[in-house]
Amino acid sequence: METNTVSRRNFLKVSSLAGTALCLGFYFPANAKKEQLISAIAAEQSAFEFNAWIRIDTNGKVMLTDHRAEMGQGSYQSVPQIIAEELEVDMKDINVIFAQGDQTKYGSQITGGSSTIRGSYKKLLKLSATAREMLITAAANQWNVPASDCYAESGHVIYKPSGKKLNYGELVTAASKFTPPQEVKLKKTSEYKLIRKPLQRIDTPMKTNGEAIFGLDKRLPGMLFAVVERNPRLRGKLKSFDDSAALKVPGVKQVFKVQMIVFNTTRDGVVVVADSTWAAMQGRKALSVEWDDSGFDHVNTEDIYNAHQELLKTKDGLSFKKQGEPEEILAKAGKKIDVIYQTPYQSHSAMEPLNCIAHYQNEKIEIWGPIQAPDWVQGDISDKFKIPKEKVIVNMTFLGGGFGRKAFLDYTHEAVAISKQIGKPVQVVWTREDDLTQGPYRAGISYRGEGSIENGEISAVKFKMAGQNIDHWNGPARDKANGSTGEGFLTPYFDGIKNISFEDVPYEMPLPNMWWRSVYASTNGFAYESFMNEMAVLAGQDQLDFRRKYLKDERCQALIDKMEQVSGWKNRRKNEGFGVAITECFETTVGQIVKVSRHSDGKIKIDQVWAVMDCGWYVNPDIIKAQVEGSIVMALGAATIHEITFKDGLVEQKNFYAYLMPRMTDMPPVEVHIMENTSDAGGVGEPGLPPFAPALTDAIYDLTGNRIMKLPFNLNAV
């Protein structure tokens, strides 16, 4: 589905202001604490550039502008499902378009941190209910009856006493002239007809019949295609290249040097431009390139983790959080543990490789592609190419996975630089080898956990982490602890454990590292929850009972009750290993129980996973289940199958033959349960990942007595 590129100002003048539509949206005053709801006419009168989040035309059709990306997480379904509920329209009558990048119009557009629904649902509910009430008022005025005697249903306003009705399309002209009410009554959860229902996703048909437009599908008149040979050592410079053979490849047009900005460094490359992607790739193969890889360390994975361990043992960390006196208590404790956990570097490896179309023109720059943060791209390109922000147009397509990688700004900058050089629109395509060898990666992190037990109770806990800090790429002070040091660790633990501290031991490494699904919770969760399981063993207590003592808030207690109930935790049998973990991520708590057994062939098999998610208010249970299942697939791969390793400064995994993915036969049955409550919405797309690895390794310990401290591990070799 194409992104609508019609000028919003012209769109308004020919639609809303001509009386053919009801348009409502938000504007974001610079000094205001929250967004303001406004109509098209009011925006025009106030000189605001309007965004038209909802537009209802004279046919009663609704156009919804989705300000966030759709990369498989389900916002393309969830956002209209919210709108349809309070607006009282049928899902089939909603058409969704992607917003262009513009933070002043749409607020934050980053699709990350599982924030789309939890950050927008309240204003979307209010926006929809406001439109509904304006339409009801228009109908009541036309009938000269009290608005309280009217109600909305299925795109119509109905007069209760007589049953007569008007289609929304017949009311938009009158409704568009009203000032939106400041307060509207929202439905109770018990009144929902669409929200919390497992409706089928509206993007599934278009993704299966080829109608959906992903980045690689987009075409422009006169567009050329490009691939880039980049230095495989990330920081190396281009010494020379011979393009004579490449230029002989049919279809190849140009070959030249290009530089891509990666955080605070530049990456050299040689770009091959052609009239097709295939020709560009063949031209790249024909290149002869010489790199200068001198002047910097050539990294080895073993050296990274040796450095981590040395730091954890010998260096004091920067304090992230501390309460009580954990060091003093640990120093004199008799019953204690001191352990180290290691987690690997990981690639994002979205199934759709990176790609971007850019068209650099003197008066504007326009971009199309699978982009997680269109507003960030707009600002970045404006800054780097010294062009006013409003002249940078960023169009989102569907994304074939993102996981944080497609929120980065390197590939869009590179595409614009190439387009500027050739003076034409160009699509730059990354191969799988480019994606795996160039990064950025989820950083490998090591942890040290120290804890003591007195009289069956935790007396002190101390955690230290050592690994690359994502924030340091953007230049903040190195004297502050990583802001995500405690990510994944449940907040109620701090109420139950009196003496506890978290420290970050700074570790600098010139490997570009980046957000990865669930960010630091994906590594922290393994260390912290594995440690809690070890503490339960040290105390001689059941893992769930042990947690129950320290997670005393009502929602955690209910979550643990549900975990015990669905898994049959209290009825575990011999020769079965059960493991547990509970993590917190983006305002959502997820508990998982994993069951394993050793089969007749001697191999450990994962028999079942039970996942219980407390995400508060939610939209579509099927989307939640799909996201939890997908998170577990990704967690399984990261725990037992794949990792990125470095040798002499080179990435050793070039493609999926070396960076293996979980197969259908690797996946155990997964049972997902959603807690029902009225708390504010939490995230859904990422929180299902962190608890899996510690629950799995705990189950293996329960079965075998073998405690796994380092990921990934070979499940077949346990």
Q: What is the pLDDT of residues 18-35, one digit of tens each?
A: 457 999 988 776 665 677
| Token pair listed for 313 | 């043992």
The model carries a pTM of: 0.94
Residue 387 pLDDT more than 80?
yes
610, 592 contact by CB (below 8 A): yes
Cα gap 405→68, rounded to integer Å: 15
Cα gap 655→31, rounded to integer Å: 48
What one-character DSSP code corresponds to residue 423? T
The predicted structure's pLDDT at residue 234:
83
* Nearby residues of 142 by Cβ (< 8 Å), 6 or more positions away: 166, 171, 174
Mean pLDDT (whole number) for 36-46: 77
Render the burial of 394-423: b for 16+ CB within 10 Å, e for the rest: bbbbbbbbbbbbbbbbbbbbbbbbbbbbbe
Cα gap 531→503, rounded to integer Å: 15
| Token pair listed for 450 | 């120290």
| Token pair listed for 46 | 């106030």
Cα gap 520→486, rounded to integer Å: 9
Report which of 520, 452, 446 is spatially closest to residue 489, judged by C-alpha positions. Answer: 520
Task: List phi, psi (to 5°) of 57.
Answer: -95, 180
Cα gap 420→425, rounded to integer Å: 9
Cα gap 193→619, rounded to integer Å: 11
Report which of 116, 22, 123, 14 is spatially closest to residue 63, judged by C-alpha positions. Answer: 22
Helices 374-384 and 410-422: crossing angle in degrees, nearest 10, is 50
Average predicted confidence (pLDDT) for the chain? 94
Give the pLDDT band of residue 367 (cuts 50, 70, 90): very high
Q: What is the pLDDT of residues 326-339, one digit of tens each?
A: 999 999 999 999 99
Residue whose token pair is 């700074």: 506
- Between 33 and 117, where is the model more confident? 117
Report which of 84, 53, 63 is spatially closest to residue 1, judged by C-alpha positions. Answer: 63
Task: List phi, psi (to 5°) of 626.
Answer: -65, -40
Cα gap 645→647, rounded to integer Å: 7
Kindly report the number of other CB atoms within 10 A of residue 318's CB atom: 17
CATH topology agreement for domains 215-295+354-429 and 315-345+442-717: yes
Report which of 304, 648, 585 is spatially closest to residue 446, judged by C-alpha positions. Answer: 304
The predicted structure's pLDDT at residue 17:
45
β-strand pairing of 365-369 with 392-396? parallel
- Look up the CATH architecture of domain 215-295+354-429: 2-Layer Sandwich (3.30)
Q: What is the pLDDT of residues 460-490, one digit of tens each?
A: 999 999 999 998 876 666 789 999 999 999 9
Query: Cα Rg for the chain, rounded, in angstroms?
Result: 28
Distance set, CA 517 to CA 237, 346, 638, 652 (Å) = 31, 10, 11, 22
**Alpha carbon 69 to chain centroid, angstroms:** 10
CATH number of the structural domain 8-208: 3.30.365.10
The predicted structure's pLDDT at residue 10:
45
> Which of 17-31, 45-59, 217-231, 602-616 shows the lowest per-residue confidence on average (mean pLDDT)?
17-31
531, 539 contact by CB (below 8 A): no
The predicted structure's pLDDT at residue 143:
98
The predicted structure's pLDDT at residue 27:
77
The predicted structure's pLDDT at residue 5:
38
Report which of 550, 562, 373, 559 is spatially closest to residue 459, judged by C-alpha positions. Answer: 550
For 40-47, the CB contacts below 8 A with 24+ separation are: 40/12, 40/16, 40/176, 41/16, 41/17, 41/176, 41/177, 42/179, 42/180, 43/12, 44/12, 44/17
| Interior angle at CA 552, CA 550 and CA 555, nearest 5 | 125
Give the pLDDT band of residue 243 (cuts 50, 70, 90): very high
* Nearby residues of 6 by Cβ (< 8 Å), 6 or more positions away: none
β-strand pairing of 224-230 with 265-274? antiparallel
Q: Hey, where are the domains in the chain?
A: 8-208, 215-295+354-429, 315-345+442-717
Residue 577 pLDDT more than 60?
yes
Q: Which residues pair with 288 in a beta bridge?
A: 242
Cα gap 442→643, rounded to integer Å: 10
Cα gap 290→357, rounded to integer Å: 28
Percentage of residues of the chain with pLDDT beyond 90: 88
Kindly report the number of other CB atoms within 10 A of residue 286's CB atom: 17
CATH class of 315-345+442-717: alpha beta
Q: Which residues pair with 595 in a beta bridge?
A: 578, 608
Mean pLDDT (whole number) for 292-313: 95
Cα gap 670→382, rounded to integer Å: 46
Cα gap 254→481, rounded to integer Å: 47
* Strand blocks (E) in 288-406: 288-292, 318-323, 336-343, 355-360, 365-369, 392-396
